Amino acid sequence: MGGDFYDFFIRDEKLFFCIGDVSGKGVPAALVMATTLSQFRNVTTYEEDLEKIIQSINKATCANNETVIFVTFFVGVLDLQSGQLQYCNAGHNKPFFVSDSITELPAKPDLPLGIDDGVAYVVREHVVPTGSMLFLYTDGLTEAMNAQREQFGRKRLADNLKSSLNCKNQIDEMTQAVHEFVNNAPQSDDLTMLAIKV
């Protein structure tokens, strides 16, 4: 039973999206994932303030979390009219911003969800112009290992990002690249990718 998840929907011409990775496996981790995802859906139906959204999700994830399961979580709200992106990073891998150049979104992570219900998460902003892409992923991609126990890593990831591709083709090409790199080594972790092209 895997620990990766993502979700997205559009409301009032804004794209609400998230991606995350629960630190455990089995039923307890699945319950934490369900709590996190349902809280994301519930809060974002009426709330647009990202700070309030992530604080609410974090409080729900912290409640009754005796086994210290934590969740790395990246959540964003993209205004589809203006291209203005607001986002928070709770211990998740920094997404890549793909335009004329390939860069990681400035997003020094705060603590993952589920550890401290008093964390003040930082809300950051970035403009996402038409034609550019956000590429989000979980650590199963960068930590995919080949038989020599080398990791796929952020550099290979960045080298396989192309601004000319649409979302489906980008994810297909990345999937192929990581499969070729890993070759026949057993997969040790879930791997999730989410591409958003404006």
Partner 1 sequence: MNTESYKLGEELDSFNYQEVQDGIMAILEKGCNAVLDMTECTYVSSTGLRVLLYTKKVAASKGLKLYLKGVGAEVQDIMSVTGFDSFFDYA
Least distance (Å) between residue 23 CB and partner 1: 4
Rounded distance between C-alpha atoms, residue 8 and residue 76, angstroms: 9
Least distance (Å) between residue 170 CB and partner 1: 22
Least distance (Å) between residue 17 CB and partner 1: 20
Least distance (Å) between residue 109 CB and partner 1: 4
| DSSP H or E run through 196 | strand 193-197
Contact between 21 and partner 1 (CB under 8 A)? Answer: yes
* Amino acid identity for residue 43 in this structure: V
Q: Pick out residues in 73-132 that bind partner 1 (CB under 8 A).
A: 89-94, 108-112, 115
Choose between 132 and 151: whose C-beta lies nearer to partner 1.
151
Contact between 4 and partner 1 (CB under 8 A)? Answer: no
Taking residues 33 to 72 in sequence order and writing x for each that binds partner 1 by CB under 8 A, - otherwise, the string is: ----------------------------------xxxx-x
Least distance (Å) between residue 1 CB and partner 1: 14
Of 80, 19, 96, 16, the C-alpha closest to 50 is 16
Q: Pick out residues in 172-191 that bind partner 1 (CB under 8 A).
A: 188-189
Contact between 153 and partner 1 (CB under 8 A)? Answer: no
Buried residues in 164-197 as b, exposed as e (16+ CB within 10 A) = ebeeeebbeebeebbeebbeeeeeeebbbbbbbb
Number of residues that bind partner 1 (CB under 8 A): 24
- Residue 45 to residues 41, 115, 147, 163, Cα–Cα distance (Å): 6, 25, 45, 32
Sign of the torsion formed by the C-alpha atoms of 140, 143, 146 and 148 = negative
- 123: its two tokens: 């809300």
**Cross-strand pairs, 10:** 15
Chain residues binding partner 1 by CB under 8 A are 21, 23-24, 67-70, 72, 89-94, 108-112, 115, 139, 143, 188-189
